[in-house]
Amino acid sequence: DTEVTQTPKHLVMGMTNKKSLKCEQHMGHRAMYWYKQKAKKPPELMFVYSYEKLSINESVPSRFSPECPNSSLLNLHLHALQPEDSALYLCASSRDRGRRGGYTFGSGTRLTVV
């Protein structure tokens, strides 16, 4: 299994809703990442988990809350989002942080906040 699986693929939510994005990998990778990508822009790093511990939080607003229940799963909990948070949210994993082999990305969740 060489995939990173993200669910849902599409999500529309209101500004008062609470929702969660899920990411799963079974490659034995010990580092997992959340990126946010706006249209025609590169992915921007949000969070890094290394060995199930949060190692980087790139000054992301608290309305985004990451969770790593185990080494295969990564969640992103969303609450009270703003329309400008609409974007493609990408999960990635690597064997360790910054491994030479690069990252494997999931296909993303396209989020629209209305």
Contact positions vs other proteins (CB under 8 A): 33, 41-45, 48, 56, 88, 90, 97-108, 110
As separate numbers, helices (DSSP H) first and strands (DSSP E) second, the chain gives: 0, 11
CB of 44 to other proteins, least distance (A): 8
CB of 64 to other proteins, least distance (A): 18
Nearest CB to other proteins, comparing residues 17 and 50:
50
3-state secondary structure 83-103: HHHCEEEEEEEECCCCCCCCC
Are 37 and 87 in contact, with CB atoms under 8 Å apart?
A: yes
Nearest CB to other proteins, comparing residues 48 and 81:
48
CB of 114 to other proteins, least distance (A): 20
Which residues pair with residue 95 across a beta bridge?
none
